[in-house]
Homo-oligomer: A and B are copies of this chain.
């Protein structure tokens, strides 16, 4: 991971053109040669970037002889220093009085996609910091509490949709994608359940497609639709009602607790 702080311009050409006027920004070059450009503004999305797989190339213009540093794929890591910072740039007097609009870039970074003509060109005018670090392998993120969890929990606690209900299967296949949960209610009718964390109209649309197709299957007909979520927007509620679907609010903490209780029974 190389981290550069510099005054720069950037231009991305690919599916669109995206230009960044000259300003001070942070540039990250990852081990796979992908490049991200950040500013203080915005959320986690960089202003501009080049996704891997790509080729990264640097052309330095501040030496008497132009030098080209070109890291090539697998050798890139080897060329980087280990943990200790490897500061390439000497101190630069950022207060020097230089015409910001007419001076020349000291370095040009180019990242070009391997499988398309996408290109990101960054012109560096002043480099305030340029350090490389070997971060090593990322052990990975462990997540808990996403829709998948809700699905598993409701499948285990299918009684929450009504007394006497039993699970048919999760991810019940249809021609337009799998229904989150298929169950049978106390009266023996099939129930197709669409689960969302936050239920909006699109989720109701999704459920509508599923129920439509399922009701064309004479072995399943009639199929009830149920929209289950931790929160459901008023619009989704209205739409669900107009389609004849029931709504079910899921209490995640409660379900989680019950899930843990179930486990302790064995």
A residues neighboring B (CB under 8 Å): 1, 3, 5, 15-26, 28, 30-32, 34, 36, 38-49, 51-52, 82-85, 91, 94, 128-129, 131, 133-147, 175-177, 197, 201-202, 205, 209, 213, 235, 238-239, 242
Contacts and interface: CB of A to CB of B under 8 A. Distances in A.
Contacts of A28: 26, 38
Assembly stoichiometry (copies): 2
Contacts of A136: 23-24, 40
**Nearest 4 pairs of A and B residues by beta carbon:** A16-B145, A39-B138, A17-B144, A41-B138
Contacts of A129: 85, 131, 133
Contacts of A47: 138, 141
Contact of A135 (B3, B21, B23, B34): B23
Contacts of A40: 1, 30-32, 135-138
Given A40-B136, A128-B133, 15 more contacts: A1-B26, A1-B40, A3-B3, A3-B5, A5-B133, A15-B147, A23-B135, A25-B135, A31-B40, A44-B45, A129-B133, A176-B235, A177-B201, A202-B205, A205-B205
B15 A133 contact: no
Contact of A21 (B19, B44, B52, B139): B139
